[in-house]
Amino acid sequence: MTKIKNYIPSGSKLLKDLVIYLPPDSEKISSALANPSRFTLNCGYIDEKFSKSSPFFIDSEYLLLLGVFGSICVTAAIVMHYVANFTLNTSGYLTLIMIFFCIRGQYLQFKQSGFRNPDNWMGLFYSMTLLCFSSMLLYLDHHKILDFNFHFSLVLLGLQITSITLKFLGFAISINHLLFCIIFSLLISLAIFPYFKYIFRSTLNYYSTKECPFDIQGIKELSPLYKYTLIFPFCIVLLWTTPISNTAKSIINESYWEHFRIFIVMCYCVLRIYQLRNEVQILLDQGKNLIYEIIRTKDPENRKECELQCKAIGAYAWPMAHQSLCYTMLIFSLCLLLLCKGEIFKSYPKPIITIESTDKLKELQGQFDDSEFIYDHTALVTPSRTVSYYQEIKDLEDKIKETRLVKENDPIKIVEKLVEAKYIPTYFYRDCLEYTIWAYHLGTVLTIFLTLLYRRRYYKKLKLQ
């Protein structure tokens, strides 16, 4: 085991030589106040010993190991599936394990910082904003502006479950669309709630600490690629809009477009991991503002509190790295799960008939049953509606009409048949996973935008006098 361990690279190299800001002593404070232009601050650096004694360092190494191992295995299985129709059940369970550890890691960080932390309250505000916006968006005609259609996939899910429960249990199940929109949006908001706190703090630090009132010895400039991690989410949000999606599908095959979007998201995840050092350094740079407060303040109690906070920020280098890895690996795992369960190589169903006028609907009532249509309310004031006819729904309804209750006295066999049955349609998997990925990046864009407004209102330029 020792020989095998020697071949595995240590995760301590990820943050090696990053700058930690140490509070200045009284002599340096006097020097800074006397001559601010010539004041130089000495800093500490993260080394291997510091990393191994830091909290969440072991968690970060395990998460990286699980992510690399899981990604290689799942990617190989997906390639085998495309080449030789290899089953992806085990790969799907592996990605679910990765998603579980990512969400668990996020909430461990939240628990350690405490609910009273101001950043957690900001994260809660952004999370509730996403919850309200997502619930309304899913309930209205979202498929007209976005490349999802929960009105179709949810009806398909309800019919699929009904066809199974009617056969083995003798009753049907109806899914309330409004209730689903609220619960699904709530689950997304809770899954990524701690992420909003993290992106708020990192964005605020990036724009608030670029200008420093004093020189810092040994500090390096940030990589120019880091700013693209702030722009990328906006581009990803646009990829799932209907105008861009329809234009792309008119140029290339729909399957290629689906894979291209997932490829872009996975490239963004790789970029986030590559820029992990710069991201953690930006969060550590909060120590600059604290040192400025230590030098400027004349209150001994306030100075002592700033010194404690400055030391604590340095100790939280690996916890912050663990946070970033959890968020990045979560989206990467969702992309792998989408490739396993979404069957994005298949074309999404298109309606055979779409009518936006109630007059034309009356003409077709003799041709099709009312239950074969999906009704989408297109206005809150006028009583207009869009009616779409899908062949997939018609096929499922015909199957339900022919379903007969299976009489089975053994409850164990009934449970076995229910477990073996396929409850969730492929298109529902695709809509849920793609929408979660899209909502994650939409939340990122909203958080960055609102954080910049917050900074513009409350940020003041640092200046030693």
**Full DSSP string of 299-325:** -HHHHHHHHHHHHHHHHTHHHHHHHHH
Number of domains in the chain: 1
Is residue 50 within 8 Å of residue 19, measured between CB atoms? no
As to burial, measured by CB atoms within 10 angstroms (0-12 exposed, 13-18 middle, 19+ buried), residue 42 is exposed
Residue 356, domain member (yes or no): no
For β-strands 40-41 and 215-216, DSSP reports them as: parallel
Residue 389, domain member (yes or no): no
What percent of the chain clears pLDDT 90, i.e. is strictly above it?
Answer: 8
Q: How far apart are CA 78 and CA 88, in angstroms?
A: 7
Give the pair of three-digit tokens for residue 313.
């920020």
Which structural domain, as residue segments, surrounds residue 77?
Answer: 2-137+171-349+438-458
pLDDT (0 to 100) of residue 236: 92
pLDDT < 50: residue spans in the chain: 1-5, 7, 361, 370-384, 462-465
Strand partners, 146: 241
For β-strands 385-389 and 373-377, DSSP reports them as: antiparallel
Give the pair of three-digit tokens for residue 346.
């298949």
Residue 314, domain member (yes or no): yes
Cα angle 56, 58, 62 (rounded to 5 degrees) comes to 115
Residue 14, domain member (yes or no): yes
pLDDT (0 to 100) of residue 362: 52
pLDDT (0 to 100) of residue 141: 79
Does the predicted TM-score (pTM) go above 0.95?
A: no
DSSP 241: B
Which CB contacts under 8 angstroms, 24+ apart, belong to 174-178?
Answer: 177/139, 177/150, 177/151, 178/139
Q: How far apart are CA 279 and CA 261, in angstroms?
A: 25
Question: Tokens 């080394």 appear where?
Answer: 47
The single-letter code of the amino acid at 87 is T
Q: How far apart are CA 205 and CA 287, in angstroms?
A: 10
Q: What share of the chain is helix, strand, coil (3-state, %, to 5)?
A: 70, 5, 25
pLDDT (0 to 100) of residue 378: 38
DSSP 358: H
Q: How far apart are CA 344 and CA 437, in angstroms?
A: 15
Residue 178, domain member (yes or no): yes
Q: How far apart are CA 166 and CA 164, in angstroms?
A: 5
Residue 201, domain member (yes or no): yes
**3-state secondary structure string across 122-160:** HHHHHHHHHHHHHHHHHHCCHHHCECCCHHHHHHHHHHH
Residue 331, domain member (yes or no): yes
For residue 447, what are the CA distances in angstroms to 32, 196, 230, 350?
A: 36, 7, 11, 34
Q: How far apart are CA 288 and CA 302, in angstroms?
A: 16
Angle subtended by helix axes 317-341 and 426-458, to nearest 10: 150
Q: How far apart are CA 326 and CA 311, in angstroms?
A: 24
Angle subtended by helix axes 411-420 and 150-168, to nearest 10: 160
Residue 284, domain member (yes or no): yes
How big is the chain, counted in residues? Answer: 465
Give the pair of three-digit tokens for residue 205.
């630090």
Q: How far apart are CA 190 and CA 227, in angstroms?
A: 27
pLDDT (0 to 100) of residue 261: 92
